[in-house]
Amino acid sequence: MKNYSVRMIRENMENIPEFPIPEGFVIRNYRRNEGHIWTRIQKAAEPYIDIDDGLFDRQFKRNLSAMEERSFFLATDAGEEIGTITAWWQPDIDGTDWGQIHWVAIHPDYQGRGLSKPMMSVAMTRLRQSHERCFLDTSTRRIPAVKLYLDFGFTPDLSRENSREAWLEVASVLEHPLLAQLESQNLL
């Protein structure tokens, strides 16, 4: 299966699914100078992109202080950070401000336990405070991530290059009502 880059969009911030944080875990804000924690989690979780020690600064240097109110860690009760999500934004995409779900990761030891949904609820709620719409970039082999985003109301941006091939590939391995609907409308 090819790993196409894809964009997903959500044209409004209504009806954000609310998933409570399970017992034994907390979600807390990123604090100043905790880029090394973000890097540790990304290094452990990221299957396709090389995560080097400078990536955090390159990604967020535009506004590092915003990280303290826009980035979150999922941690165990014992205080070990095992997940990260950032409610980022792009101030001008074709003249419009878009919230952005950015760099979502859960340490492999903790994947597959439904912990990504509470993280998404927190980040989407934060985006709703500042933005009227949001988007994210991902890729087609990241099936748990794509499923998560579809469940949170993101839809494929079919205006992007290769999007039809890309989403047909996703639909061949992931059954989802939204993808079935797009297929039935001949959009895929």
Ligand X SMILES: CC(C)(COP(=O)(O)OP(=O)(O)OC[C@H]1O[C@@H](n2cnc3c(N)ncnc32)[C@H](O)[C@@H]1OP(=O)(O)O)[C@@H](O)C(=O)NCCC(=O)NCCS
Per CB under 6 A, residues contacting ligand X are 45-47, 104-106, 111-116, 138, 142-145, 147-148, 174
Residue 89 or 95: the one with the smaller Cβ distance to ligand X is 89
Minimum distance, C-beta of residue 95 to ligand X, in the bound complex (Å): 25
Measure CA 12 to chain center.
16
- Report, in Å, the least distance between residue 170 CB and ligand X: 10
Choice between 54 and 144, CB closer to ligand X = 144
Residue 115 near residue 74, CB atoms below 8 Å:
yes
CB atoms within 10 A of CB 56: 20
126 near 93, Cβ under 8 Å? no
Residue matched to tokens 């949904």:
117
Q: What gap in Å lies between CA 78 and CA 135, rounded to an integer?
A: 33
What radius of gyration do the chain's Cα atoms show? 16
CB of 174 to ligand X, least distance (A): 5
Complex with ligand X: residue 17 or 54, whichever CB lies closer = 17
CB 94, min distance to ligand X, A: 22
- The string of DSSP codes covering 131-144 is -S-EEEEEETT-HH
Q: Which is nearer to ligand X, 171 or 188 (CB)?
A: 171
